[in-house]
Amino acid sequence: MLIPGMEADLVHGRAGTRSERKQAAIVGAAAEVFLSTGYAGASMDEIASRSGVSKQTVYKHFSSKEALFVGVLTQMMGEADTAVHTGLPQVENRAQLEAYLLDYAVRQLTIVLTPGLMQLRRLVIAEAQRFPELAKVLYARGPARALEVMGSAFEQLAGKKLLQFSDATVAASQFNWLVMADPVNRVMMLGDAAIPTKQQIYRHAEAAVATFLAAFLHPDKR
């Protein structure tokens, strides 16, 4: 249910002190419990049992169930952020620009549209009224982070006269919505069965990039 590779790293704690390995095990077990039973149904006793530590140890690392959920949220979104935002490669012409945007869009959709992250999003939305801080963390680590990274990249691309816009954040938001809106809405409402195939992701990303460039490609590159 987690991002590929994340669960094993958390459970086995490949590096760090004994305390860090225990904390990683707790977060890994908590992710399984929260995503399988929901926030309200999650038991700290079960999390302790699954992580192989005492309940007292769980509370030593996380003061409350809400704090532990924030830890899970932070870990999962951090893993997604690392996988999606790999930095701006060498982009000097229109062909390289199109390739960069397409690669980013495909990577973002592939990472975000996983059962674990979609389940996490639904869970946070369900608890948003009772625990608004959870929604704030999800937004900051997800959409807001994506806009920050893409806005910075777009500023650099505008400096190379590859893109043209009046506001980098607006351009980043337009790109993000072209890429993410329909696929994410479908999976959020229809469940895992609506997760697109690799071919569908690629076709959707191609169309999103083409629409974005029709609006924001620098006139000199048309």
What local confidence, expressed as pLDDT, does residue 5 receive?
A: 39
50: left (phi > 0), else alpha (psi -120 to 50), else beta? alpha
Q: How far apart are CA 120 and CA 115, in angstroms?
A: 8
HSE, CB side, 13 Å, CA atoms: give it for residue 196. 22
Listed in sequence order, the residues at least 6 apart from 188 whose beta carbon sits closer than 8 Å to its beta carbon are 118, 121, 122
**H/E element holding 59?**
helix 55-61
In this prediction, residue 15 has a pLDDT band, given cuts at 50, 70 and 90, of low
In this prediction, residue 19 has a pLDDT band, given cuts at 50, 70 and 90, of confident
- Mean pLDDT of all residues in 116-123: 92
Listed in sequence order, the residues at least 6 apart from 137 whose beta carbon sits closer than 8 Å to its beta carbon are 70, 73, 74, 77
In this prediction, residue 217 has a pLDDT band, given cuts at 50, 70 and 90, of very high
What local confidence, expressed as pLDDT, does residue 81 receive?
A: 84
Look at residue 34 and tell me whether its pLDDT is greater than 70: yes
The β-bridge partners of 163 are 217
Cα of 167 vs its chain's centroid, Å: 24
Task: Give the 3-state secondary structure of residue 129.
Answer: coil
Structure tokens at 115: 């059962």
Look at residue 79 and tell me whether its pLDDT is greater than 60: yes
C-alpha distances (whole Å) from 210 to each of 101, 155, 179, 207 are 10, 19, 11, 5
Q: pLDDT digit string (tens) for 147-169?
A: 999 999 999 999 999 999 999 99
Q: pLDDT digit string (tens) for 170-198?
A: 999 999 999 999 999 999 999 999 999 99
The β-bridge partners of 217 are 163
**H/E element holding 133?**
helix 132-141
Look at residue 220 and tell me whether its pLDDT is greater than 80: yes
Phi, then psi, of 41 in degrees rounded to 5: -85, -10
